[in-house]
Amino acid sequence: MLTHHQVWGAIDALAAAHGATASGLARKAGLDSTTFNKSKRCSDKGRLRWPSTESISKVLDATGASLEEFLGMVREVKEVPKHTIPLIGLAQAGAGGYFGDAGFPVGAGWDEVAFPHIGSPHAYALEISGDSMSPVYRDGDIVIVDPEAAIRRGDRVVVKTLEGEVLAKELKRQTAKTIELKSLNPDHEDRNFAMDQVAWVARILWSSQ
């Protein structure tokens, strides 16, 4: 099975073999220079993006490399070492004892899941339960949350209220006094809270969809 990391690594290796950057390789193939930029490999919502078969075909034509050579480069890419991060079910997360005041995971009730290192020592995983976030997140999906990541309007976030409710929503607007949240499931209404009702807000970086 080809992984996202291996395929993009092979494109970088092909570019280096021809004395080019990923941007230079894209230009050589007649593509937009940003096609293979690292910022294009993952969406703002944390969803992995893959190069199209058309773009791979064009770079092979432009460089004269065969598909077999490219697949050989794919196989040579070393996988990113994985480590474990804390995991808990979204339904459990509202109970006390799982988060500190800053929204960092604490306590001994967490499980663990293997995941590539993302640079945040406080990142954790939540397993979605139920259909309240369908069709964006379905029952059993895993979302990776970073309580230290900067948050902007339009980001998907996890919010915990002082009453213990935990919600995964889209951030519509946040001021010093209020926060407005858009429901991911159109059958569920949007939610607004005064900030003094909110324990913490954390950004969703990635999901297992």
Mean pLDDT of 99-103: 88
The answer to whether residue 97 scores a pLDDT higher than 60 is yes
- Are the C-beta atoms of 27 and 36 separated by less than 8 Å? no
Cβ–Cβ < 8 Å for 83, 115 = yes
Q: Domain residue spans in the chain? A: 4-76, 83-207
Average pLDDT, integer, range 105-121: 83
pLDDT of residue 56 exceeding 70, the answer is yes
| The domain defined by 83-207 carries CATH number 3.30.2020.30 | no
63 pLDDT above the threshold of 60: yes
Confidence of residue 81 (pLDDT cuts 50, 70, 90): low
- Ranges of beta strands (E only) in 9-164 are 82-89, 111-116, 124-127, 142-146, 156-161
Q: Beta partners for 105?
A: 99
| pLDDT for position 80 | 65
Asked whether the predicted pLDDT for residue 45 surpasses 70, the reply is no
- Which fold does the domain 4-76 belong to in CATH? 434 Repressor (Amino-terminal Domain) (1.10.260)
Structural contact between residues 122 and 200, judged by C-beta atoms closer than 8 angstroms: no
The residues pairing with 84 across neighbouring beta strands, listed in sequence order, are 114
Q: Tally Cβ neighbours within 10 Å of residue 108.
A: 6
pLDDT score of 38: 83
